Amino acid sequence: MAEKEHKSGFVSIIGRPNVGKSTLLNQILGEKIVITSDKAQTTRNAIRCIYTDDEAQIVFIDTPGITRAKNELGSYMLKAAEKTFNEVDVLVYLIEPDTKPGKMDQHILESLKRTKTPVILAINKVDLAPRENVLGVIDAWKDLHPWKDIIPISAAKGENVKDLVELIKQDLPEGPQYFPDDMIIDQPERFVISELIREKLLRSLDQEVPHGIAVEVDSVKARKNKDLIDIEATIFCERKSHKQIIIGKGGSMIKKIGSQARRDIEYFLKQPVNLQLFVKVTENWRDRPFLLSELGYKEEK
């Protein structure tokens, strides 16, 4: 009996900000590994996550939401998203059920015309929309691109997510398993820790603050003869007023953020954690290429 072929390949999830790309990835992986929030531009790097089953290994690239660049960081994020279009085996274009093609959608659709990569159109958040709305979106979008498939899903509820994975597998080439079975992200521990801290900032702070923050993990040290890890991290913000908001009255906000982040970090590391957070004001860091590079926003060659 012939051995069943094994497939492997790379898949990029693209779309406008806040359509649920990271939520979809977490649902596929079955674990909270990519941060989510209701703020736009939550994802800043193109993060590679690995899904493995008996039939295939899929390396997903969770890209920043595609939007107009307003500063050097925005330019970096836009390049990170669009760079993947011709470097993967399958593209998943995620939209919402009440989305009509707007200016940014037209930009994405124009970019897709220049790629031969098969594209699956996934309509997310269908659990929040009447059936007739979803059918209307399918009708409005079906002729805008030669889609490989169109599928309605709910990333939050898991509806049709397994079916989406099966559609992706159909377009993957035969290939080996690139990563071990238990590996689900190609980033170092410090990156994941910094992202988990940033998520709590995004979820806790006012609208004007999150876009001007970054997190750098300064040290991760295991204590001798103790099952405890000491972690120190610095939160960068652009204004003194933002620093005051992050710290909060009597340190209440930074304590809340630290407590919530510590729980997620302990779950990730499977060990108790002592987390120390510091706040530093660095004006206009999003427009300073050297600082962007130092904070991990490095354009791949």
Q: Quick check: 149 pLDDT over 80?
A: yes
Break the chain into its structural domains and give their ranges: 7-170, 189-294
CB half-sphere exposure, 37, CA atoms < 13 A: 22
For the chain, give the mean pLDDT.
Answer: 80
CA distance 64 to 182: 25
| Answer CATH for 189-294 from 3.40.440.10, 3.40.50.2300, 3.30.300.20, 3.40.640.10 | 3.30.300.20
Q: Give the per-residue pLDDT at 11.
A: 92
CA distance 91 to 98: 21
- 3-state SS, residue 155: coil
- 3-state SS, residue 5: coil
Please determine whether the domains at 7-170 and 189-294 fall in the same fold group of CATH. Answer: no
Higher pLDDT, 81 or 65: 81
- Domain 7-170 falls in which CATH fold? Rossmann fold (3.40.50)
pLDDT, one tens digit per residue, over 11-63 is 988 888 778 888 898 899 886 555 444 434 444 445 678 899 999 999 887 66
pLDDT, one tens digit per residue, over 155-209 is 999 999 999 999 999 999 999 888 888 788 766 778 888 888 988 888 787 665 6
